[in-house]
Amino acid sequence: MCPFPSSRHIPAALADCWKTSSEEQSSESELKAQLQTHYVTEREVKQSLYAKEEEIIPLLLRLPNFVQAPSKTIKSQCSEYSSRPTFPFHPTSHVDIGGADIILRHEPRLCYLKGATALLHLQLCRFFSERLLALGSTPLSGPDWVVDTVLEGCGTDPNNLDHTMAIENKEHGGGHHMHLVGSSALDSFAGYLTRRQPKDVPARFHTVGRRYIAKCDARLPGLFSLTQSTKVAAFVACRRQQLMPTFEELLVAVKQWYQELEMPFRLVLAEPPELSLIESLRVSIEHEVHDGREFGESVFPALLPFQAELEGTFLR
């Protein structure tokens, strides 16, 4: 049994307690100072890495992918489907129809679908989203803005200033730039998976989001001059040896979904000279245009596999 301290021991005990408290405060202050130093060092290291990325990434993007030979399954799917419908009226372009209600000028403006056409657009987005969900894809709400070390602004071709709109801050502190692409753009999916290592592959994602494309003169920048649309996009990250089976599965599924809509369309295999630097294989989905005499590229996602990292392969 421990006896209570006598009155002469109390001052010594208080002194020891005060000494211990002072030492703890001193130790805590030292830890805070060390932590602050660590933050500064970490920030300096990151800034040096960002500077190296800005030098290396543009060089890596110039390295073309190897052209992937299409399999027999892919070749057999590339054909024309559904018979062309006949109408009791003469089909008319949407530009001619819209021109009867609004004055079309070559200047920035926003146009919206309304009535039955707006409902049709929403239903089509829901249709493809539900089909992708049933295929095992995970809904993803990505950012409209992504951080980019190569290009500042919004555009599809960083080497063509006529199709690139710069988004700049009045006070720029260095580091990465912001790039307006929309959550359904490939950049948004890639930004989500940056510095992530999916454990379960293939990793399937899809989204119904905005897509921004700058098709105006770069000398007249502005958000109202962007082409904005809502797009259903799918993205798959898989191992290199899984690329072709995954591509075939998605291609067959998309073909079946279009057949459910009972609309004329065709799948077109792109020739190697038509591929961009990052593409290994591409199959475009084209649907019949308004006059019923030719096909135009679909607004829905084409299948575009490419190698975005040295360690893995992505499929869009």
Please state, rounded to an integer, the average pLDDT across all residues of the chain. Answer: 72
Residues 182 and 209 sit within 8 Å (Cβ to Cβ):
yes
**Tens of pLDDT along 272-294?**
888 877 778 888 888 776 555 55
What's 54's DSSP letter?
Answer: H
The confidence score (pLDDT) of residue 230 equals: 85
What distance, in Å, lies between the first and last C-alpha atoms of the chain?
Answer: 75
Three-state SS for 50? helix
Question: What's phi and psi for 131, nearest 5 deg?
Answer: -65, -40
Q: Give the relative orientation of helices 116-134 and 243-260 as an angle to the nearest 10 degrees.
A: 140
Higher pLDDT, 99 or 44: 44
The confidence score (pLDDT) of residue 307 equals: 32
What six digits make up the tokens of 65?
């992918």
Pairing of strands 177-180, 145-148: antiparallel
Three-state SS for 282? coil
Average pLDDT over residues 193-201: 72
Could you tell me the fold of the domain covering 64-315?
A: BirA Bifunctional Protein; domain 2 (3.30.930)
DSSP string spanning 60-80?
HHTSPPPPPPPPHHHHHH-SE
The confidence score (pLDDT) of residue 109 equals: 61
pTM of the model: 0.66
**Tens of pLDDT along 72-106?**
999 999 888 877 777 787 777 666 766 666 655 55
What is the residue extent of each domain of the chain? 1-63, 64-315
* Distance in angstroms (rounded) separating the CA atoms of residues 258 and 246: 19
Average pLDDT over residues 233-237: 87
The confidence score (pLDDT) of residue 242 equals: 85
Using the predicted structure, report yes or no on whether residue 151 has a pLDDT greater than 60. no
pLDDT classification of 257: cutoffs 50, 70, 90: very high
Average pLDDT over residues 150-159: 48
Among the listed ranges 61-65, 85-89, 153-157, which one has the minimum average pLDDT value?
153-157
The confidence score (pLDDT) of residue 231 equals: 86
The confidence score (pLDDT) of residue 87 equals: 72
Using the predicted structure, report yes or no on whether residue 185 has a pLDDT greater than 60. yes
Residues 128 and 301 sit within 8 Å (Cβ to Cβ):
no
* Distance in angstroms (rounded) separating the CA atoms of residues 165 and 308: 24
The confidence score (pLDDT) of residue 153 equals: 46
